[in-house]
Amino acid sequence: MDTIMACLSPCFKTQEPPAETSSFDTKHSNKVRARLGKPLKPINTPIEMVASPAAAFDRFSPMSPRPKAAPSVPPATTPLTATELGELFDKVDETLSGPNIHYAICGLAAMIAHGLTGRGANTVSILVPEDSKDVIRPWVLAGGNMVTKKDSTPHGFEVLMSNGTTRGIKIRWIEGAAFEKLGIIRSHMGSRSARMLTLASCLEQVASAFLKECRGGKPPTPSKHVDTIVQDIRGALESATVHKTSLDPAYLELFLSHQFWSPYHAYMGDERISEIMLLCTRARLPVAEALAEARRHSEVRQHDALLSQYGVQPMLGVVEQQPGAFHNMRTLGRDTVPSTYTLKSKESRGSSDLLPSPTGRSLTAKPRPMPSPLGRGPLSARESGPSHSRSSSSVRVPQDKSKMRESLDLVDARSGRPDGWM
């Protein structure tokens, strides 16, 4: 075997070591560096760039440990201070300040910005038109104030505050036509003057929340949530009175209607409603007409409750349900049996109207036709002719009485004479 390899070795060329592979850019940059007196870049083959060939793939190995994600920051649950609320307003405006994106801060945060005291907000709610639903999420994802992409949802997102905590932003979608009817102003909190609802629109939103708790126009069941809504209504009116904020009636269509004041008056009672009326008067709200309509509806409900105690169903024609003075005389004491004077309807008319009824003939039925002279008997046939003309074939009384009784019901239809007489 060695002899064979020795014979064939001259036929093969000696393999030279691989030349160094370097790109043209590296060589050119080294020439420039040499002219400028700077150190040259080392030219290494790909296999010499790492300590060992296997070390080049350690970074992409599935067994290599992945970098740990940053620990999530839990959202803060404490109420926002005035400084934090202004910072959060600025972040909302910075995130949603893109073109064709409309928003308005609403809810408790907007009422606090108007001067509401006694309550604190943990988050901020904003109203956004439904036609911006496909635009606002990509815009929020592209913003830099959001914590992480997985923390954002179609109904809200979270932002990172300067103190290291996170605060949630809730999105409430509303129809475009309804959004245009809202009163929107610039907030005085923060440096960017974010857009928020006016105090009148905030009061309208709270009144709408109260009506959602009502069922069938009746006052809601007392609960902590309803008491909070009632407290916000009172707080908004007090804030308007103290800070002399003008409440435009154009944005209070629901609040100034009896649809709201009827259940609200029933829930509050006469004593507490007088205090609310005093606040409305100081805020220059025209609620006298709505309250008068609410009182009228309250009196109607009390009247209906009184009728129901005596077995009369309200709102179904009270007069028609009361028995009249001659109610029993019309039916002769028989309510289920039709009387002689019962009128038949058009649907019940038919061939049965021509037949005698045991309860009497109907007044609306057509009269039956008179019988023909042939069916009246011999006396009718004699009376039908003229009195001055008497033919020789006039009727004569037969001598046989049995024949007369037998022929009374027999009449010849062709001659009009009684059959069997002659």
Looking up tokens 């997102």 gives 157
Evaluate the CA torsion angle 75, 198, 141, 85 in order and state its sign.
negative
Q: Assess whether pLDDT exceeds 80 at residue 418.
A: no
* Sheet of 104-106, strand order: 156-160, 166-174, 124-129, 104-106, 195-197, 184-186
DSSP assignment, residue 14?
P
What domains are there in the chain, each with its CATH number?
82-197 (3.30.460.10), 203-304 (no CATH)
Which tens digit of pLDDT belongs to each residue from 252-279?
999 988 888 888 888 888 888 889 988 9
pLDDT tens per residue, range 383-417: 444 544 444 455 555 555 554 544 444 555 555 55
Answer with the residue of higher pLDDT: 216 or 346.
216
197: closest CA among 208, 212, 187?
A: 187
Contacts of 200 (CB under 8 A, 6+ apart): 183, 247, 248, 249, 251, 252
Q: Which pLDDT score, from 0 to 100, does residue 63 have?
A: 54
CA distance 177 to 181: 7
Note the pLDDT of residue 366: 62
CA distance 233 to 222: 16
Averaged pLDDT, 126-138: 84
Instruction: Give the type of residue at 111.
Output: M
Single pTM value for the model: 0.54
In whole angstroms, give the CA distance from residue 29 to residue 42. 11
pLDDT digits (tens, 9 = 90+) for 30-71: 888 888 888 887 765 554 444 555 554 444 455 555 555 555
Looking up tokens 């037949």 gives 355
Distances in Å between the Cα of 303 and the Cα atoms of 162, 299, 313 are 62, 6, 11
- Beta strand 104-106 with 166-174: parallel, antiparallel or unpaired? unpaired
Query: Angle of helix 224-242 relative to helix 199-212, nearest 10 degrees?
Result: 160
